[in-house]
């Protein structure tokens, strides 16, 4: 196999690959908003057509509770070659607040070696590299050295509801020797990172209802318990003075690393100064006392407040006591924590601390299991070699504070190692305005994947 001709072909077609990515990025495939349902279908049709043009076979959709999976395969490497399942998600986050974007979120813009737009890093830019790598092989008439299957999801940003059942129902179709996911970041610009674990997640909508309509604060202030006041007091009580999540039973299944494991984990060069520089914050919150920032990001649970709605927030004044308010809350989970159990503990606690002057509803919007990967897998070891060939540096192994719901589902059903080889950067503004992706990493990522497929065949 002439791997150099494939690498040269990919490099010579890098502008074409970028243009295809730009086409995909222009599609506002926001999975969580009903108004974008037609855009989701547009993205599906675009991927089906592009994969067929590349030469991927058996391209079709798999229906889910929400948005379709786009599936395709190329299995001509033969039964003795490894079969790799490539996962990505074509859906993206909402763009709010739109006024903070410096460029239109769905008009990809090239600035200083980066491409800006929603989905650039999370995850269209990262999964498209695999399609580009496959095309470089097939365009040169070089058979891929491994069998590949593509599993491109459309609901990752809205909780991947029902995806575990889809994988179970299609486990024969999806059977593989390893799963590849690129939906994470380097440690920094110069240091690749392989993600060895992701946190789980439970996401809630907490609703507090008082009177049956909004009230005049002059007429009823001091008599009616303001639902907005109740909500913020309840939310403020969810952490204790030591930064620990104040929900009984939440830590019962949290496993502590032993001293040697903690010492090794904290060798990763990621500290307060690094984080402050990345996010341009005045200082970091001390968080859970007794744990380093790296530990609090990867191996400890966390609770976050995402937004409050209700009452009056427009220009000017309106002296109103709102009848109904709500908040979005999530809890990131670590290995051995069960999202169903944590959801029950959260709801029980919220109801216990709610005063009798209001009515409270807790809706669970999504759940995802935490997962850790087998770091002794030969598929992971060969990933390190591929990074070294292209970036000149071996990656560090570290856990990721975010959630990729499908990781645990793949491990449970397919019994295959999951390899998370990300190419994003910590300052890519994931889920925020001005999301970006480094073009150097886009091009080098394609080269890394070509090397990885070649190494796997040796």
Q: What is the CATH number of the domain that holds 68?
A: 3.40.630.10
User: What secondary structure does DSSP assign to 421-443, as a single string?
Assistant: E--B-TTS-TTSTT-EEEHHHHH
Catalytic annotation, residues: 91, 156
Q: How many domains does the chain have?
A: 2
Q: Which residue segment(s) compose the domain that 223 sits in? A: 200-254+301-368
State whether 20 and 92 are in the same domain: yes
Evaluate whether 301 touches 332 at the Cβ level (below 8 Å): yes
Evaluate whether 150 touches 130 at the Cβ level (below 8 Å): yes
Structural domain contains residue 287? no
Lowest mean pLDDT among 7-16, 21-30, 287-296: 287-296
The 8-class DSSP code of residue 11 comes to: H
State whether 129 and 208 are in the same domain: no
Structural domain contains residue 149? yes
State whether 230 and 246 are in the same domain: yes
**Nearest residue to 337 via CA among 370, 300, 303:** 370
CB atoms closer than 10 angstroms to residue 306: 12
Of 368, 391, 420, which residue sits at a domain end? 368
pLDDT over 70 (residue 217): yes
Structural domain contains residue 286? no
Distances (CA, A) of 254 to 199, 290, 302: 12, 15, 12
Structural domain contains residue 132? yes
The pLDDT tens digits for 154-211 are 999 988 888 999 999 999 999 999 999 999 999 999 899 999 999 999 999 999 999 9
Lowest mean pLDDT among 62-71, 242-251, 262-271, 378-387: 262-271
Question: Percentage of the chain with pLDDT > 90?
Answer: 91
And the tokens for 59? 């391209």
- Check which CATH number belongs to the domain holding 337 and give it: 3.30.70.360
| Cα gap 426→176, rounded to integer Å | 30
And the tokens for 203? 């996401």
State whether 31 and 161 are in the same domain: yes
Question: Percentage of the chain with pLDDT > 70?
Answer: 100
Structural domain contains residue 279? no
The pLDDT tens digits for 226-237 are 999 999 999 999
State whether 358 and 374 are in the same domain: no
pLDDT over 90 (residue 351): yes
1 falls in which pLDDT band (50, 70, 90)?
low
Structural domain contains residue 283? no
Residue with the larger pLDDT of the pair 327 and 277: 327
State whether 357 and 401 are in the same domain: no
Rg (CA), the chain: 23
- Count Cα neighbours of 175 within 13 Å in the Cβ-side half-sphere: 4
Q: Assign residue 287 a region: left if phi > 0, alpha if psi is -120 to 50, beta otherwise?
A: left
The pLDDT tens digits for 250-279 are 999 999 989 998 998 999 888 888 888 888
């Amino acid at each position: 196999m002439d791997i150099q001709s494939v690498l040269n072909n990919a490099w010579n077609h890098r502008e074409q690959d970028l243009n295809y990515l730009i086409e995909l990025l222009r599609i506002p495939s926001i999975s969580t908003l009903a108004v974008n349902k037609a855009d989701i279908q547009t993205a599906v049709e675009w991927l089906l057509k592009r994969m067929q043009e590349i030469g991927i076979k058996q391209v079709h959709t798999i229906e889910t509770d929400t948005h379709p999976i786009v599936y395709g395969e190329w299995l001509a490497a033969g039964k003795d070659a490894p079969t790799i399942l490539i996962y990505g998600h074509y859906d993206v986050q909402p763009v709010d607040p739109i006024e903070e974007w410096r460029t239109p979120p769905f008009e990809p813009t090239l600035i200083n070696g980066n491409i800006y737009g929603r989905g650039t890093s999370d995850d269209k830019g990262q999964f498209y590299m695999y399609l580009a790598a496959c095309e470089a092989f097939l365009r040169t008439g070089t058979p891929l050295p491994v069998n590949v299957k593509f599993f491109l999801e459309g609901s990752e940003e809205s909780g991947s509801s029902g995806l575990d059942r889809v994988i179970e129902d299609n486990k024969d179709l999806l059977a593989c020797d390893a799963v590849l996911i690129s939906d994470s970041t380097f440690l920094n610009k110069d240091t690749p990172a392989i993600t060895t674990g992701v946190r789980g997640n439970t996401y809630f909508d907490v609703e507090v209802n008082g009177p049956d309509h909004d009230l005049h604060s002059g007429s009823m202030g001091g008599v009616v318990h303001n639902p907005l006041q109740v909500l913020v007091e309840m939310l403020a009580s969810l952490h204790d003075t030591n930064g620990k999540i104040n929900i009984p039973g939440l830590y019962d299944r949290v496993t502590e690393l032993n001293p040697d494991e903690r010492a090794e984990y904290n060798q990763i060069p990621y500290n307060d100064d690094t984080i402050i520089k990345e996010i341009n914050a005045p200082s970091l919150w001390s968080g859970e006392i007794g744990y380093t920032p790296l530990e609090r990001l990867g191996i400890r649970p966390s609770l976050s407040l995402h937004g409050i709605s209700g009452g009056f927030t427009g220009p000017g004044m309106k002296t109103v006591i709102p009848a109904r308010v709500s908040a979005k809350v999530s809890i990131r989970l670590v290995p051995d924590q069960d999202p169903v159990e944590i959801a029950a503990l959260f709801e029980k606690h919220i109801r216990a601390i709610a005063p009798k002057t209001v009515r409270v509803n807790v809706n669970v919007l999504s759940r995802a299991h935490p997962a850790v990967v087998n770091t002794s897998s030969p598929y992971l070891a060969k990933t390190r070699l591929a990074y070294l060939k292209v970036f000149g540096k071996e990656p560090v192994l570290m856990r990721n504070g975010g959630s990729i719901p499908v990781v645990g589902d793949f491990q449970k059903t397919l019994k295959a190692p999951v390899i998370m080889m990300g190419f994003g950067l910590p300052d890519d503004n994931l889920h925020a305005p001005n999301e970006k992706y480094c073009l150097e990493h886009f091009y080098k990522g394609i080269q890394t994947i070509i090397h990885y497929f070649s190494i796997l065949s040796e």
